[in-house]
Structure 1
Amino acid sequence: MPDSTTDDLPFELKNPTAYQWTEKAYDLLLTDALTVALTVRHRIEIATASGDCPRCGHDVQFSMERDAPIPGTIGGLGTEDSSMTEDYVAVDVECRCKGGHPGRPDGISKGCGIVFRTEVQRTTT
């Protein structure tokens, strides 16, 4: 989907978490132009996304270990039964494309500056 104009999009500083990015991501997910996954391996959640960014169209190239404990894995008060883990989990995806986006702040080497939310099914490997 990227074309010669998407590299000219400035880095998003005004409203990087605008709901419009989540709406556009949903449309991309429906057409398989974007994929997001959350896998659990040895009690560590890893979120990954690849495919078209809803803003710039470049490959989002996102991967991140999530810090939150997986329900049912910690003892004590409020311990949840592991059979009651959520089927779908919210994952915030940050564009980490390699495209050129003018105005990218120092210290940030990738992305167009947006973050969008998706809901994915947790998969245990």
Structure 2
Amino acid sequence: MPANDPVQYQTFANMNDSEEWARALVGSVQVDRENRVVVVAGTCPRCDDVFEQEIRNDDITIEAVAAGATADNSRPRDKWRGPMRFTVACLCRVEHPGRPSGTKGGCGAAAIMRDGGAVGG
């Protein structure tokens, strides 16, 4: 396949591929706690296309129970104070063959990350 042909759209079949992709992307992730946003901007390690993603409150998961929180999670916690998880996905604008209709963009690569690092990696 010529170097400028887009890669086939494909999600990762196993967690190892996802973690490897995330580790390659770590330097492109900026967690801005003051402005409450995670920004991912760079080149996708899988398709080599440029993309940018902003991740905000609804897409952030608290990594661990914060001090003072109840076991049933009834007390609200500030998810921007402690460790957090979020999903990063390639959202490039290149038309990758096989991408399902209605998909925002990207080549199918995605991973769960923790404060700029791969979960489990």
Considering the TM-score relative to the shorter chain, is it more than 0.5?
A: yes
Paired position in structure 2 for 1:97: 92
The normalised TM-score by structure 1 is 0.61
Paired position in structure 2 for 1:4: 4
Residue identity over aligned pairs, in percent, reads 23
Paired position in structure 2 for 1:48: 39
Which letter maps to 1:26? R
Which letter maps to 1:58? D
4+ aligned runs moved over 6 Å, structure 1: 69-72
Paired position in structure 2 for 1:39: 32
Paired position in structure 2 for 1:62: 53
Paired position in structure 1 for 2:101: 106
| Alignment gaps of 5+ in structure 2 | 117-121
Give the number of aligned pairs.
Answer: 105
The normalised TM-score by structure 2 is 0.63
SS of residue in 1 equivalent to 2:23:
helix
CA RMSD of aligned residues (A): 3.3
Instruction: Choose which of 13, 17, 21 in structure 2 pairs with 1:20.
Output: 17
Distance in 1 of aligned mates of 2:23 and 2:112: 9
State whether residues 69 and 76 of structure 2, in contact with CA within 8 Å, keep that contact through their aligned partners in structure 1.
no
State whether residues 12 and 110 of structure 2, in contact with CA within 8 Å, keep that contact through their aligned partners in structure 1.
no
| Alignment gaps of 5+ in structure 1 | none
Residues 74-94 of structure 1: CA distance to partner in whole angstroms, max 9, x if unpaired?
x97455997xx42x4332201
Distance in 2 of aligned mates of 1:118 and 1:25: 7
Residues 31-81 of structure 1: CA distance to partner in whole angstroms, max 9, x if unpaired?
x4xx11222357xx4222011212111123111223258776xx9745599
